[in-house]
Structure 1
């Protein structure tokens, strides 16, 4: 009688850690961007303008702002987490806490701006999407031994 072990790594992801990390980051950022663009379109359909006043000027927060503020922080944060996890895999838990807290903490800026209600709701939900995706992506980046 023999005992066989099962691999804990997915057969769908590359075995090389850098390749796997790159794939996880790209897929996570893409998923967050798609969801946030759907939220933006829903906000527009609900009558949102995604405009606010800053220093007397009317500024638009979308769609370019939605793309930039989804892709840039999430990509940088996940790449930094992946690099630090090469040094110490336990950093994943710290990164998950930071990845959840930062996007949720910045909701205050959205609420305090003079966006209309549909825009405020959609933008707030976008922050939540980034927090959820960051935590889930870092879990996928974590190497299980």
Structure 2
């Protein structure tokens, strides 16, 4: 190819860039889930019960709550951000800010519940994990 010729973008590169997004979302959700389940096990070993009182009844927040509250918000949030980012690329940066702030803001719910100290600290760390994973995954997509 001479210096005056230009090459067209590779269909392999553009296709892998598009198909790579679901992989990033799935890997981010799976990674966050693994980290949060490890944190849950550490919290259990530290004496956490992960139980709180709700409407007079004792409710357990783990392991089902850990799985549900990691997979659903992160999976839905990242998927929506990626889809809207395909339409408006600047949206991914906005989603990073929201993805960092929203999990951190919801720590207040954990702090206001009557969890024991080990459970409160562990659940708070899980929120931080979700915030960090959201930012890193969206940066990878961006």
Structure-2-length-normalised TM-score:
0.89
Q: How does 1:11-26 map to 2 (within 5 A)?
A: 15-26=15-26
2:28 corresponds to 1:28? yes
Please name the residue that 2:45 is paired with.
Answer: 45
Shift of 1:15: 4.1
Shift of 1:17: 3.7
Shift of 1:19: 1.6
Please name the residue that 2:9 is paired with.
Answer: none
* Unpaired stretches in structure 2, ≥5 consecutive residues: 4-12
Structure richer in helix, relative to its length: 2
SS in structure 1 at match of 2:53: strand
Which of the pair has more CA radius of gyration? Answer: 2
- The count of residues paired between Structure 1 and Structure 2 equals 132
Please name the residue that 1:76 is paired with.
Answer: 76
Distance 1:89 1:99 in 2: 16
